[in-house]
Amino acid sequence: MKISTRSYTSQVLKHIRVETNDPEAGLVTLTLKAQIVEILKVTPRLVNFGKMLQNQTSVRELLCENQGKDPVRILSVEAKPPALLSLGEQEPFVLNPGQSRKIAMKLSSGSSEGYVHGYVMLKTDLEFLPEKVVRVRADVKKQQGIGQ
């Protein structure tokens, strides 16, 4: 059995049901569990700017925390699409154990109406987690449509 733990932040608990032709055992249940240690914690995991007017900008912050026992090197921070999303900081940095850092991100809603999506990608030197992605979204409304 193989389970990817990329999307887990606490406990993994999986059961597999095995049906057999053994008249006594019949059904066997296999259980696989583990406690996931989120070394680099980035919050929020999803950034929802909510309802925004057209051609408006809004700023939110991401908090990056090193919950591990060794330094974590953030090799790059990238926001896409760059026309919508920009970052206050893009330079590499190191987070020592217990250290945290805030990264500001600015969303420009643009002139189109509807949902806009983007993401921030942090590339790390962590062996098992070379990149961490935070999804970003907003609902862009017409100027005159708000408050009516």
Partner 1 sequence: MKRFLVSGGILAFSVLVLFPLTALCAARAELQNPVFDAGEIPQGQDLVHEFLLKNAGDEPLVFKARPC
Q: If we measure between CA atoms, which residue out of 107, 45, 41 comes closest to residue 79?
A: 107
Nearer to partner 1, 9 or 48 (CB): 9
DSSP 8-state assignment for residue 143: G
Note whether 59 and 105 are within 8 A (CB).
Answer: yes
In whole angstroms, give the CA distance from residue 104 to residue 119: 13
Regarding 125 and contact with partner 1 (CB under 8 A), the answer is no
Q: Residue 6 CB, nearest distance to partner 1 (Å)?
A: 5
Q: Residue 59 CB, nearest distance to partner 1 (Å)?
A: 28
Regarding 46 and contact with partner 1 (CB under 8 A), the answer is no
State how far the alpha carbon of 25 is from the alpha carbons of 1, 18, 19, 32, in Å.
21, 10, 9, 20
Site for partner 1 (CB under 8 A): which residue of 50, 111, 128, 144? 128
Dihedral pair phi/psi, residue 12, rounded to 5°: -110, 130
Mark the segment that binds partner 1 (CB under 8 A) among 19-27, 43-51, 58-66, 74-82.
19-27
Q: Residue 111 CB, nearest distance to partner 1 (Å)?
A: 39
In whole angstroms, give the CA distance from residue 135 to residue 28: 39
Regarding 89 and contact with partner 1 (CB under 8 A), the answer is no
Q: Residue 34 CB, nearest distance to partner 1 (Å)?
A: 4
Regarding 121 and contact with partner 1 (CB under 8 A), the answer is no
What six digits make up the tokens of 91? 């330079």
In whole angstroms, give the CA distance from residue 17 to residue 113: 48
Regarding 75 and contact with partner 1 (CB under 8 A), the answer is no
Which positions lie near partner 1, rule CB under 8 A? 1-6, 8-9, 12, 14-25, 28-40, 68, 126-129
